[in-house]
Amino acid sequence: MLPIYICEDDATILAAQRKFLEKQIMIEGYDMQIALCSRHPQEIIEAVAASPKRGIYFLDVELKDEPMDGFMLGQQIRKFDARGFLIYVTSFPDLAFETFRYHLEALDYIVKSNSEKMLAGMYKNLAVITERMCKEQGRQKEYFTVKVLDIIKHVPVDEIMFFETSARTHRIELHAKNDCIDFIGSMQELQEQFREQFLRVHRSYLVNVNKIQELDLKHREILMDNGEKCLFSKNMKGELLSRI
């Protein structure tokens, strides 16, 4: 699990950053956690030194009334975490070149004068870090992106059990390992998108064949890995048996 550290001298911005990151970690299921949020760089250094491991660092550049700025803090962090992700957040975009002068290999540079853009930048960086970690571990995970009201969710495809048509028009229910999500969609479009891994076993069900635990041929029921059941049509029996 990647620890996240935030160093920001403005208490209001610090609170907003923490709240946003905690929400995104929960929604996206990122393998991350907030380790420390502080207005004081020395506290960040002490925490990293006490538990030196690869982490994510959102650092304010200008730390008022402190003996060091964000770039100097980055240098200290690099003594304990040479491969961590440094992301600088500041009100002054023209300071970006400083990351190169300090040889910090920063992942990104976010301007915080616009709160909406600042949070969008943080969101982008979490996605970039997750993708990079997956590639480094030799597994590029595939995600299905779905919008639920004002929230965008990224569900790992290998955690989806099946899609089911809802009783409501143009609505689909996504049944995942530990979740069920209702969204606007088309079963036909999903069938085209997931042609390789999913099978339309019934007019109401599009099933992940890799997640089938057993078939009940008598009752034409499919038991999925998470314990849920769905139906399959009589004419799909042969194809199902050939795919599992």
pLDDT of residue 108: 86
pLDDT of residue 147: 78
Contact 164, 204 (CB under 8 A): yes
- Residue 60 neighbours by CB distance under 10 Å: 25
pLDDT of residue 141: 67
User: What is the CA angle 179-182-188, rounded to 5?
Assistant: 110
Per-residue pLDDT for the chain (244 aa), expressed as one digit of tens each? 899 999 999 999 999 999 999 999 988 888 899 999 999 999 999 999 998 899 999 999 888 889 999 989 999 999 999 889 999 998 876 665 555 555 667 888 888 888 898 999 999 999 999 888 877 776 556 888 887 776 777 788 989 999 999 888 889 999 998 889 999 989 999 999 988 889 999 999 999 999 999 999 999 999 999 999 999 998 988 888 888 7
How far is 49 from 30, CA to CA, in rounded Å?
24
**Residue 37 corresponds to which amino acid?**
C
pLDDT of residue 144: 87
- Global model pTM greater than 0.85: no
Cβ neighbours for 16, distance < 8 A, ≥ 6 positions apart = 115, 119
pLDDT of residue 10: 92
Of 2, 29, 31, the C-alpha closest to 155 is 29
3-state SS of the chain is CEEEEEECCCHHHHHHHHHHHHHHHHHHCCCEEEEEEECCHHHHHHHHHHCCCCCEEEEECCCCCCCCCHHHHHHHHHCCCCCCEEEEEECCHHHCCHHHHCCCCCCEEEECCCHHHHHHHHHHHHHHHHHHHHHHCCCCCCEEEEEECCEEEEEEHHHEEEEEECCCCCEEEEEECCCEEEEECCHHHHHHHCCCCEEEEECCEEEEHHHEEEEECCCCEEEECCCCEEECCHHHHHHHHHHC
